[in-house]
Amino acid sequence: MTQDTINKILQFRDERDWNQFHNPKDLAISISLESAELLEVFQWSAEDVNCTEKLNKIREELADVVNYCVLMADACGLDLDEIVEAKIKKNNEKYPVELAKGSKKKYNQLKKG
C-alpha cells in the first residue's frame, strides 16, 4: 500500500474527527467484525473456492479490513511495512522453503532431515 493511500484513509478519519473514537480495542474489534463480514460472503456457499461472482462484495469487505488495519497501526504508532516485513522474516524461519514447499502442514509438524 502506498503512503498516499494510507494518508487518504487517515484524512477520511481526521476530516470527521473520528480519531477520538479509534482506540486500539475498538479498532481490533472492528477488524474482527469486518473480517466476519468478509467470511459472510462465503456463508452457505457450496463452492467456497469460486469467488468470481462474489468479487464485488469481497472487494468491499477486504477494503474494510485493510482500512481498519491501517487505522490500528496508526493508533498504535506502528509502521505497517516494518511489522509486515518482520512477520515475513519470522514466517520464513518457521516455514523454510525446503520443508514447507507444497505442504499445508503447520510449522510444528514440518519434519527436518
Binding site for Mg ion (CB under 5 A): 34, 37, 61, 64
77 close to 46: Cβ distance less than 8 angstroms: no
61 close to 37: Cβ distance less than 8 angstroms: yes
Closest approach, Cβ 35 to Mg ion, in A, equals 9
Chain residue whose CB lies nearest Mg ion: 64
* DSSP class per residue in 22-52: --HHHHHHHHHHHHHHHHHTTTT-S-TT--G
Which is nearer to Mg ion, 34 or 74 (by Cβ)? 34
Closest approach, Cβ 34 to Mg ion, in A, equals 5
DSSP state letter for 95: S
Which is nearer to Mg ion, 8 or 89 (by Cβ)? 8
Q: Amino acid identity, residue 8?
A: K
Nearest one of 3, 5, 66, 57 to 30, comparing CA atoms: 66
Closest approach, Cβ 16 to Mg ion, in A, equals 17
Which is nearer to Mg ion, 26 or 37 (by Cβ)? 37
Closest approach, Cβ 112 to Mg ion, in A, equals 42
Which is nearer to Mg ion, 45 or 103 (by Cβ)? 45
